[in-house]
């Protein structure tokens, strides 16, 4: 009967620490992308912030009723601001992940477009050479050599184009689920709509991620403080004690104060 509450308590505490650690990690990485010019200082600062947030949250819950108003209200504001900083870091991390994918896909698309233009130029050149060759009677080595060079160039460009198309298809497959979300919400899947859908998803994650970690830390502290208090008697036990007291009075048994206290 007593094992289950402790098991639940440890699970909630473990989950709170896991969420806080993961949120802190993403926040540190995200803040380093925002302030890329000072990588290690930002890592140290952000890690200290995450540790301070967890400690302050636990301290506020345990000493809220006994601590001075100045301290507890300042720490409350500090925890809120630290949570906003963490959320900003998580937002930066997820935004960078989407931006990197979009940038890679865009670069690949530009390279494919450039190769397509080169192929189109070589195909036009090949058409001109074939037209010129058809005007002459008999073999002409000069045209044959130029035609072979153009055809080899087209083959070479197509060989470069195939891996880029495979990479582009892979990127489109990675963005596929996002396209379904954008189409379901906005009814279209252009790049602007995709970016808006990504921002909406990231904001939803940010609104839940770090606040959930803070609330679970508070819940874990509440469970610890509750389990550490002595257990009070249940209502059924009190009813039974009152019945025993009435029976003893009817039987003429004297009830002293110490016996009443134990009951």
**The pTM is what?**
0.65
Angle formed at CA 56 by CA 50 and CA 60, multiple of 5 degrees: 150
DSSP code at position 231: P
**87 alpha-carbon distance from chain centroid:** 10
Question: 172, 153 in Cβ contact below 8 A?
Answer: no
Pick 262 or 214 by higher pLDDT.
214
Averaged pLDDT, 14-21: 86
Pick 6 or 26 by higher pLDDT.
26
Mean pLDDT over the full length of the chain: 82
| pLDDT of 159 higher than 90 | yes
Q: Smallest Cα–Cα separation from 209: which of 49, 27, 48?
A: 27
Query: What's the sign of the alpha-carbon dihedral 209, 211, 213, 215?
Result: negative
pLDDT tens digits for 194-246?
888 888 888 888 888 888 888 888 888 877 777 655 555 455 566 676 777 77
Q: Smallest Cα–Cα separation from 115: which of 169, 156, 168, 173?
A: 156
pLDDT score at 3: 46
Question: 90, 206 in Cβ contact below 8 A?
Answer: yes
Phi, psi (deg, nearest 5) at residue 136: -100, 145
Question: 116, 91 in Cβ contact below 8 A?
Answer: no
| pLDDT of 132 higher than 80 | yes
**45 alpha-carbon distance from chain centroid:** 20
CA-CA distance, 30 to 96, in Å (whole number)?
Answer: 8
Give pairs for 155-159: CB < 8 Å, separation 24+: 157/115, 157/118, 157/119, 157/122, 158/119
């Amino acid at each position: 009967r007593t094992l289950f509450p402790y098991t639940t308590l440890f699970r909630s505490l473990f989950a709170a620490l896991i969420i806080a650690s993961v949120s802190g990690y993403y926040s540190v990485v995200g803040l380093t992308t925002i302030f890329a010019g000072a990588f290690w200082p930002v890592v140290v600062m952000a890690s200290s912030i995450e540790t301070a947030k967890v400690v302050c949250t636990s301290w506020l819950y345990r000493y809220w009723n006994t601590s001075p108003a100045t301290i507890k209200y300042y720490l409350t504001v500090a925890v809120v601001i630290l949570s906003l900083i963490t959320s900003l870091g998580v937002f930066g991390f997820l935004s960078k992940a989407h931006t990197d994918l979009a940038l890679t896909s865009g670069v690949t698309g530009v390279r494919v477009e450039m190769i397509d233009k080169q192929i189109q130029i070589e195909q036009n050149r090949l058409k001109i050479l074939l037209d010129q060759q058809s005007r002459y009677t008999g073999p002409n080595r000069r045209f044959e050599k130029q035609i072979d060079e153009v055809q080899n160039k087209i083959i070479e460009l197509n060989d470069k184009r195939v891996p880029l198309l495979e990479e582009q298809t892979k990127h489109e497959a990675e963005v596929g689920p996002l396209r379904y979300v954008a189409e379901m919400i906005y009814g279209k899947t252009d790049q602007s709509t995709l970016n808006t859908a990504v921002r909406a998803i990231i904001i939803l994650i940010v609104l839940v991620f770090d606040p959930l970690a803070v609330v679970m830390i508070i819940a874990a502290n509440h469970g610890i403080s509750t389990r550490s208090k002595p257990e009070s008697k249940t209502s059924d036990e009190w009813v039974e004690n009152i019945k025993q007291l009435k029976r003893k009075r009817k039987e003429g048994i004297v009830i002293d104060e110490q016996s009443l206290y134990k009951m």
